[in-house]
Amino acid sequence: MRDPSGRLLRLLSLLQTPREWSGTELAERLGVTARTIRRDVDRLRELGYPVHATHGSAGGYRLTAGAAMPPLLLDDDEATAVAIGLRTAAAAAVTGIEDTSLRALAKLEQVLPHRLRHRVAALTEAAVPLPPQDGAPPAADPSVLALLAAACLTREKVRFTYTAADGRGTRRLAQPHRLVTAGRRWYLVAHDEDRAAWRTFRVDRLTDPHRTGMRGPELRLPGGADAAAWAMDALAGGSGTIRARLLLHAPVEEAAEHVTAWQGVLEPAGDRTCLLHTRSDSMRFLAYRVTLLPIDYTLLDPPELAGHLAAIADRATRAIRPFTAP
């Protein structure tokens, strides 16, 4: 790239990706010499971009945090994604970001090209968010989410206090792996260092987190499972070899107000329905858990569960027969 301004923007775009680039890689990408890359990096620093350089065979360039945030360079898809995310932030399960999101959106839309404004407006007009409901699950603290997300990327161990369902608090040391959303709750999948085991933590029950500066090795979940599947199994009744799947006749936002993690994990399945995944070691206990649902549902699998649900329904019908009108 011979145009200095265009090359500088392209270099900035590469450096804004979360990785370290060697001078050779950048020179090959931009079709220039390593000396030109060093000169362009110096120009970026003069403009306020904190580009960190490490020397040696394993060295390279990366963009780090500075005293102030310089302008971000976004392509069309990235700008659209950010704008849509800000528009829907008020309905997200994160505390205290509604006003901040609106301010950021106003700044972004002021500089969006017309073609991107039209794209964002079309999607936001077609998608209507449900208003927050009374009794909705507690929202997560955005600063806690940001800290945990950063620790997931850097494999840095974190100390925090975790409050269990019974109200008992314990201090934990864990290496975060992934953040997972289920319904309107956030969960952290992490390796508990004190217990030498994988755990799933509800983020709204996690307080006083501190990054330790200690980095662990890259860890993989047992059996090669992904974080979403692991969290779903952990929340859907814990251990258990019998799995059930039900179609709930309610939007996932509404169902999340009534379905606890003890009963299973919710998954969106359309505007008016959602899926419930649950499991147990006992078919009878699984049927009992399902009958506690305060929402209409359709059993999808396993078919063997239908007989146990029918038996519970028959007993309930016989129990109330003397009190029902003929």
pLDDT digits (tens, 9 = 90+) for 101-110: 766 776 677 7
**How far is the C-alpha of 18 from the C-alpha of 76, rounded, in Å?**
19
Whether residue 300 has pLDDT greater than 90: yes
Question: CATH number of the domain at 240-321, out of 3.10.20, 1.20.81, 3.30.70, 3.40.1010?
Answer: 3.30.70
Q: Which residue has the higher pLDDT, 69 or 154?
A: 154
Phi, psi (degrees; rounded to nearest 5) at 304 = -65, -25
Q: pLDDT tens-digit profile of 155-199?
A: 999 999 999 877 889 999 999 998 887 656 788 999 999 888 999
293-303: string of b/e by CB count within 10 Å (b at 16+)?
beeebeeeeee
Check: CB of residue 177 under 8 Å from CB of residue 227. yes
Q: pLDDT tens-digit profile of 201-254?
A: 989 899 999 989 899 998 888 877 778 777 766 665 555 678 889 999 999 888
In this prediction, residue 311 carries a pLDDT of 93
DSSP annotation of 259 reads -
Report the mean per-residue pLDDT for the chain.
Answer: 81
Confidence of residue 15 (pLDDT cuts 50, 70, 90): confident
- Give the global pTM: 0.52
Q: Mapping DSSP to helix (H, G, I), strand (E, B) and coil, where does residue 179 land? A: strand
Confidence of residue 132 (pLDDT cuts 50, 70, 90): low
Other beta carbons within 10 Å of 286:
24
Yes or no: is domain 4-63 CATH 1.10.10.10? yes
